Amino acid sequence: MSRISKDEVLHVAHLARLEINDEQAEFFTDQIGRVIKMAEELNELDTANIDPTSHVFTQKNVMREDVAEKGLPLEEVLKNVPNHQDGQIKVPTILE
C-alpha cells in the first residue's frame, strides 16, 4: 500500500493555505492513507472486457446554429436597473 507521510500532509496543507496542528496532521495522514488504499483496491478489478467510457450514459451534444437576433430595446432593459448612466448599467466596484 502506498502511504502518504505526515510531512506530505503538512506540505499539502501549506499549499492549500490551511493551518493544521500535529494532531490533525496525524489524523489526516491516516484518513488519506485509507482513501489511497481503497483507490488501490480498484486496480485489482478485472476490466479486460470493459470498454472505456467517459460517462455511463450515451451522450451527444445538441447544437443549434448560432444566429444573432435583435435584443430588447435599451429603454426596456434599463427600466428595471436601479443605477445606470449614458445607456450603461452601473454596478458596485468589486476590485480595489
Q: How does pLDDT run across 8-24, given as a tens digit for each residue?
A: 999 999 999 999 999 99
Contact between 87 and 78 under an 8 Å Cβ cutoff? The reply is yes
User: What's the pLDDT at 52?
Assistant: 83
Q: Rounded distance, CA 79 to CA 75, Å?
A: 6
Helices assigned H by DSSP within the chain:
6-15, 22-41, 74-78
Over its C-alpha atoms, the chain yields an Rg (Å, rounded) of 27
Q: Rounded distance, CA 18 to CA 25, Å?
A: 11
Residues of the chain where predicted confidence (pLDDT) is lower than 70: 1-2
Residue 71 lies in a domain: no
* Residue 40 belongs to domain spanning: 6-44
The total number of structural domains in the chain stands at 1
pTM for this model (two decimals): 0.48
User: What's the pLDDT at 1?
Assistant: 47
Residue 72 lies in a domain: no
Residue 78 lies in a domain: no
Contact between 13 and 20 under an 8 Å Cβ cutoff? The reply is yes
User: What's the pLDDT at 2?
Assistant: 56
